[in-house]
Amino acid sequence: MDRIKKKSLKNILVRWNLIFITVTVLTSVISISFLTRDSVHNVALLDIQSLYSDLRRSLEIEDDRIIVTEEFENDFEGFSFAVYDSDGRLILGAPPQDFSPDQYPVSGNTRITKRVKIGGSWFYLALGKTIARGDDKQKKPVLLICFIEQHIAYRAYRLFLFSVIGLIFGTALLYFLVVSSLSRQFSGSLEHLMTRVRRIGNSLGEPLSPPAEDTISFQELEEISSAYDRVLQQMNQVLKRERQFNNYISHELRTPIAVISAQSQLTMEIFRNNPDIQDHMKRILKQCDQMGDLVNSLLDLAHLESSGQQPEDHEVALQDVVLAICEREEELAGKTLFVLPLSPVSIFANTDLISTVVRNLISNAVKYGGGKPAEVSLAQEGALAVLKIRDYGNGIAAEDLEKIFEPFYRADPSRSTAGTGLGLTLAKRITEYYHGTITVKSNPGEGSCFCLTFPVYNETGL
């Protein structure tokens, strides 16, 4: 199964905001550039035509000279004109350098308006033949040419374009800041909610705490939090009733089990010479012992999971605990355990609880080892105490590895081996309570290896 790639919602929002803003700005700038460029081109052509018409009406003959009357007002920057006689001589104005009227022949009343390149620069040009008139009805045909420098005409276009670009960038920046602020607020609320949910893992049943006063929350997230609180309260009630039930049943079962065990021993004493009764009583005692183990395990689980009951923790020499349990198991089972050198390692815990964990694992190794010696090793690796218990029995099937720590689950479907089904569950709960880990590696036919890790004790505690 492919691993699911986890991504941060905050990073995704910021990344898509940047992409959206970049695409929007570029698209807007390119579109406005093309649209306004054509508009400015058309406006420049209209300007040059208007200036040409005004100047043509202002041409007069005075003292046999062609002049421009004061009626022509020109405040258009970059504008120039030239007047040529019928022989092509310049008689008025100042055309751009390298300009020659011969390049633009005009016939009749035709007027030419275009954009042309003169001497390396671009100009808007309007030219045509007209007639200058004097007071005595004097007439003189001339060639009138008007020029507007393109870069001057486009100055307003560039100013407008830069203003629009600035406006777009300003709007985009404002949008980015607003969306980023909302993203931070949303992700902050979400992170706060996740932090509150993570705390549940350390103390199941604790309701979600309300957000801090300076935390901006969203209604939707608060609704999720409230819904989770309601579910959690229901779970807490169910767990509480379950623990109370287990505790009650365990205590109530202890008395009849003790009575049955005592009566069985008394019966064996009375009928010591009756082999059949002895055999039946031994079976009853064996079942009493197994039931007693189950009751004790239930009580241990109930005490460990009950809120407000903290065990008395202190420095525990783990190697002494392991060695004592190994010696006891060898004596009870009549089998030899192959104990590797145990490094002196101390942890901060409760001796009885840690002994329960080690005893369950070692007894399982002896029980399921197929008569072969189990290996027990203890070493310190960095800041961790590492205890490994390995047997060479039949091993555990792959489909059972994830279930063996569940309450009452047993990998042996026939249940031919004695056990309560709570040993590994209790071991896992105690190990995690002390910030440790418990893992198992197993292959069918090759045995199993359980690995326990605990934080090493130091003078300041954990």
pLDDT, tens only, 53-97: 888 888 888 877 888 888 787 777 788 899 998 888 898 888 888
Are 343 and 380 in contact by the 8 Å Cβ rule? The answer is: yes
**Residue type, position 217, single letter:** S
Quick one: CATH architecture of 16-158? 2-Layer Sandwich (3.30)
Q: Which contacts of 299-303 are long-range, i.e. CB under 8 A and separated by 24 or more positions?
A: 299/246, 299/247, 299/250, 299/251, 300/356, 300/426, 301/246, 301/407, 301/422, 301/425, 301/426, 301/429, 302/243, 302/246, 302/247, 302/250
Strand ranges across the sheet with 338-342:
338-342, 375-381, 384-391, 447-455, 437-443
Domain ranges of the chain: 16-158, 219-305, 314-455
Q: What is the pLDDT of residue 218?
A: 56
Q: What is the pLDDT of residue 456?
A: 92
Q: What is the pLDDT of residue 379?
A: 92
CATH pick for 314-455 out of 3.90.110.10, 3.40.50.300, 3.60.20.30, 3.30.565.10: 3.30.565.10
Beta-carbon contacts of residue 399 (< 8 Å; ≥ 6 apart): none
Phi and psi, residue 331, nearest 5°: -70, -40
Over residues 232-257, the pLDDT tens digits come to 777 777 777 766 766 666 667 777 88
> What's the CA gap between 284 and 279, in Å, rounded?
9
The residues of the chain scoring below 50 in pLDDT are 1-6, 202, 205, 207-208, 212-216, 413-416, 461-462
Are 146 and 127 in contact by the 8 Å Cβ rule? The answer is: yes
Strands (E), 45-102: 59-62, 65-68, 79-84, 90-93
Q: How far does the chain reach from its first CA to its final CA, in angstroms?
A: 38
Top-tier CATH class for 219-305: mainly alpha
